[in-house]
Amino acid sequence: MDKDALYQRLDLVAPSPYSRSEYLRRAVWAFVYLTCFRISPIRAFKWRRWLLTCCGAKIGHGSQIRRSARIRHPWLLEFAEHVTIGDRVEIYNLGPLTIGKHTTISQNAHLCGGTHDIRRRDLQLIRSTICIGSGVWVCADAFVGPGVTIGDNAIVGACAVVTHDVPQTMIVAGNPAVVIRERPRPTA
């Protein structure tokens, strides 16, 4: 097969898509993550918030990040107050990721802020923003893709695959995620 007939050419992919300073920051964070974050006591939420802020994250008061959560670039992370990040949550934030107040990201959810430009043979890296509003619940095993905005008080159902914006107060579920109904207003 002629190599010009191939839609992607892995020999053309950039071997180093980040700057030197970012590789250094990644190495420092990897060391901190493996030696201080990951092995910290289960309830050491304040300690983990402090570690993340030392590495450039902006973390609001009362936020709880489980020690098994995986965060790629803390310096691109901003949480409001009282955010909960569950066990084994993957925060693949190649671009800025913001989460509003009183939002829960449940266990095994995957927030993916990176992809590749499939129109280019070299599959150039795209570092996208993810914005998750206040009062949101991203349920277990859900996937939130690059460039997605989830509106305030929305719910992303378990195992949902979200590739488009979610309007505020809506419940979405499925693969691909579709609006199921509006979230009811709380009574108490």
Q: List, for residues 80-105, the tens digit of each pLDDT value.
A: 999 999 999 999 999 999 999 999 99
Residue 173, beta-bridge partner list: 178
Assign 112 to helix, strand or coil. strand
What's the mean per-residue pLDDT of the chain? 96
Cβ atoms of residues 110 and 72 within 8 Å: no
Q: List, for residues 124-183, the tens digit of each pLDDT value.
A: 999 999 999 999 999 999 999 999 999 999 999 999 999 999 999 999 999 999 999 999
Whether 110 is catalytic is yes
d(CA 128, CA 94): 7
Q: Which of 61, 82, 102, 110 is catalytic?
A: 110
CA proximity to 162, closest of 149, 151, 176: 176
Cβ atoms of residues 90 and 73 within 8 Å: no
- Confidence (pTM): 0.93
Q: What is the CA radius of gyration of the chain?
A: 18
d(CA 116, CA 173): 25
Q: List, for residues 170-188, the tens digit of each pLDDT value.
A: 999 999 999 999 999 998 8
Cβ atoms of residues 121 and 139 within 8 Å: no
Cβ atoms of residues 104 and 71 within 8 Å: no
pLDDT of 4 > 80? The answer is no
What CATH code would you report for 19-180? 2.160.10.10
CA proximity to 109, closest of 67, 133, 149, 141: 141
